[in-house]
Structure 1
Amino acid sequence: MIARPRSLGIMCIEWVGPDGSPPPVVSGSMLNPATYDFPIIKETIRGAWAADVVRGNPALEPAYIEAAQRLVERGAVAITSDCGFSIRHQTAVANSVNVPVATSSLLLVPALLRQLPSSSKLAILTADSRVCGLELLGVDDLVQRARLVIGGVEGGKLLQNEMRRPPLPTDVADIEIDVAGCITRIRAEHPEIAAILFECTGFPTVSHTMRRTTKLPIYDVVGLCKMMMASIG
């Protein structure tokens, strides 16, 4: 019997371009097989268009569970998703399968706060800060919450393109402009920022560049996925 390779399962939101094209797979993308040293498999979360996932739609939960279970049936040994706002369904998905589940890099927030000096702040960079509420971050202590800085690129091209139906691809150069501008703004307002967490799964395409230019630790969903897979024997 031939053993199946250990694969990371990615639950993917609906994405079909105007010409019927699939989502673009660029260097550094979490959807690019070349990003990892292990195989990935993907399943679409039926009906989960970006607008509903970002804003939150409880009715999508059965579709998330179904996608996760299909991935496990296909050989996934860990599960993630390609939208950080999927954290709203973390508990339901984790309870539905018997493999590790990390729906969002936001799961890292409590751990990152403990890694940093108590006098510093953690910046969370999101696609849309208007809907990235504190209830999604897993931090109840008010003192620790005060150390969180949430910045968003809701005025940029990435969110505008993703929220369309059908969505449009966004150039990496435009993502870099959005992200760099947001980082510059929040660091000016909060010089205590000592690390940055990218919520948006589109941001890893510029993580390397942002680490080089900001000189700060930057965490993203790709790093979380690699850590999760490294823990599985």
Structure 2
Amino acid sequence: MHGGRTLYGFTLGVITLHTHFPRTLGDVANARTWKFPVLYKIVEGATPRAIIGKEKSCVDRILSAAKELEAEGVKVITTSCGFLSVLQEELARAVSIPVITSALLLVPLVYRICGMKPVGILTANSKAFTKEHLLKAGADQIPVKIAGLENTDFGKALLNDEPCMDFEKARSEVVQTAKELVRQHPDLGCIVFECTNLPPFATDVQRETGLLVFNLIDLVNMVCSAAERIGDVF
């Protein structure tokens, strides 16, 4: 047996934004969401607004966080913000383990699975959502329809990093936004949550829209399951 580290046994490493809003069960930054041992790396100064603004200092710290997580022994790395799809290539090249920056990586797959119909995307901020976010996820050639939550209390709580949130109101806002997206685009094949804070509402949205809903938790669980097929030596 060979050592060299202080801690062992982590499957998943999460590069986490520096935030203060609540993280309920199902959120990427709630450790009880995961069935795998998880190690978090908080990137100081990486606020939602800093990430949306693509601040260079944040990018450098995120790349460093990925390298630190790999050195600490995790098998898979993910992030706590779907807009980090713009760093997919950089992060994947920076380490030698799987990196999942965003649920947007699912878009090409679910498009083909769900009848090659347009994919609905629910995002925290549609005004900040760009073609680059899709391009870096390999999804720029897929027909998508986008709905943002930036004008809801839920969306504002995330973007303004507010320490309190009305969860039931958030649930209603997310469901209503999804239903309106489907009403406007009845040809949708499925819905993908760009925002990593939306998975707690996946069941409600799927029930109310009748469409399959995919999110980062689904993708990370799949990759972690593959990574754990061969266990650690110790």
Instruction: Give the TM-score normalised by the residue count of structure 1.
Output: 0.87
Q: What secondary structure sits across from 1:47 in the alignment?
A: coil
Corresponding residue of 2:232: none
Structure 1 regions of 5+ residues with no counterpart? Answer: 17-22
Post-superposition shift, 1:60?
Answer: 2.0
Post-superposition shift, 1:34?
Answer: 2.3
Q: Which amino acid aligns with 1:73?
A: A
On the 8 A contact 1:197/1:219 being kept in 2, the answer is yes
Q: Structure 2 vs 1, CA of residues 195 and 158 (structure 1 numbering), >3 Å: closer, same or farther? A: same
Count, aligned residues: 221
Distance 1:25 1:124 in 2: 21
| 1:47-66 matched pairs, under 5 angstroms | 47-66=45-64
Structure 2 regions of 5+ residues with no counterpart? Answer: 230-234
Q: Which amino acid aligns with 1:178?
A: E
1:150 paired residue among 146, 149, 153? 146
Q: Are positions 1:12 and 2:51 aligned together?
A: no
Q: What secondary structure sits across from 1:114 in the alignment?
A: helix
Q: Which amino acid aligns with 2:100?
A: A
| 1:151-170 matched pairs, under 5 angstroms | 151-164=147-160, 167-170=162-165
Post-superposition shift, 1:5?
Answer: 1.6
Distance 1:159 1:101 in 2: 26
Post-superposition shift, 1:140?
Answer: 4.1
Q: What secondary structure sits across from 1:175 in the alignment?
A: helix
Distance 2:127 2:33 in 1: 30
Distance 1:45 1:105 in 2: 20
Distance 1:204 1:139 in 2: 20
Identity of aligned residues (%): 27
Instruction: Give the TM-score normalised by the residue count of structure 2.
Output: 0.87
| 1:38-97 residue CA offsets vs partner (Å, 9 max, x unmatched) | 111100123211111134334422111111112122221110011101111111111111
Q: Which amino acid aligns with 1:53?
A: I
CA RMSD of the aligned region, Å? 1.9
Corresponding residue of 1:220: 215
Q: Which amino acid aligns with 1:139?
A: A
| 1:1-233 matched pairs, under 5 angstroms | 4-16=8-20, 23-118=21-116, 120-137=117-134, 138-141=138-141, 144=142, 147-164=143-160, 167-232=162-227, 233=229
Distance 1:37 1:108 in 2: 21
Q: Which moved more, 1:53-62 or 1:181-190?
A: 53-62
Distance 1:231 1:78 in 2: 10
Distance 1:65 1:83 in 2: 14
On the 8 A contact 2:19/2:47 being kept in 1, the answer is yes
Distance 2:214 2:45 in 1: 29
